[in-house]
Amino acid sequence: MKDLLHIEGEFLGELGVVDWGYTEEATPKSFDRFESWVEKGNHGPLGYLSDHRKDLRKSLESVKEDFQSALVFLFTYAPEKAALEKLYQSEKSNGLKVAGYSVSFEGNDYHYKIKEKLEEIGKTIGKPFKISLDIQPVLERDLAYRSGLGWFGKNSMLINRKKGSFNMIGALLFEEKLPISSREPETDHCGQCTACFDICPTDAIDLENRQIIANKCISTFTIELFKDNVAPKGYNDVGEIFGCDLCQDVCPWNKRMDREEEYKIDSNWPSFSSNELVDFFLTRPPIQIKEELEAMSNKAYVRKFKGTSFERTGRLGLLKNLKKFFTL
C-alpha cells in the first residue's frame, strides 16, 4: 500500500475532499432511530427505505460481506453553492431556485462524479475496495458520524464543524483494517438553535427527533414525486423547483463559511460558465421554461438532461414543480 498520508495532501483537495475519517464499525449507531422513523411512516413515498433494503442497512457487511474498515470522505459543493447564491442576488436570476448540489459537480449527477473520485482515491491507496454511496443500503450520514466527520443537525443533516453541511458523503470499504487512528464521534454543536426548524415553510422538520417528515419535505415533493401531486402546505410560498436548501441556508455552521476567502466568489465562477442547468432553469423567464418543457417530448427531455440530477425527476416532474407559478 502506498503511503496513506499522501491522501491528506493536495491530492484530496484537488478532488474536492474537505475532510475524511476512518472507522472499523460496521453497525450504525442510529439504526433504531431510523427504524422507528420508518415505522411511523415518516419516510412517506420513499419506499426504498422501507422495503427489504431497510434491514440491509443494519450493517456494512450487507454491502461488503468481508468488511473490516472504511475510509469516509466529504466532497464539498460549497463553492458552487456560494456562486448560486450570488446568482440569486443578481439581475440574471428569474426567481426560481434549486438545491445547490444539483447544479454542482460540473452540472453532472453527483453520483457519477463522486464515484470517479472515489475510484481514483482507491487506486492511489492500492488496496482492494468497494465504493459506498447513497445508492446502496447504507446509512451514510451515520457512517460519516462514526468516522468523526460531524454530528446530526436538527434538520437531520450531517454537519461538519469546519465545513458545514454542503457536502456529499462517499466511502471506500475494505476487507482489512488499515493503520489509521479513528476519531471520536463529534459532539452536538447545535445548542439551543432552531433556525432550520423556524425557516421550514412546510413544517417538515421533527425537531425533537432530528428527523425529516418526508411527506412534508419540499425536496421529496420536487424530486421524488414524478407526476402531479398535492404539494405540501407552505410550498407555494417559496421559489424552489428542484430540491431545497432552506434549512441549510440558515444554519450558522454554513453561514460562518461566508467569511472564508475560498468561498468569496461571484456568480461568474467557472462552474457556471457552461452549466446548461443554470442557463435553462435559473436565468430565463419561467413562462419560457414552461412552454419549452410542454413542447418537448419525454425522450427529448431525457436526452437533454441525461447524466444530470434533473434526469431523475423528468419533464412531467419539473412541470409539476413549475405549476404554482402559473396558477391564477
> Which residues are known to be catalytic?
134
Q: What are phi and psi of 211, to 5 degrees?
A: -135, 165
Q: Cell 466527520 identifies what position? A: 149
Which residues are CB-neighbours of 290 under 8 A, at least 6 positions away? Answer: 319, 322, 325, 326
Which residues are CB-neighbours of 106 under 8 A, at least 6 positions away? Answer: 113, 271, 275
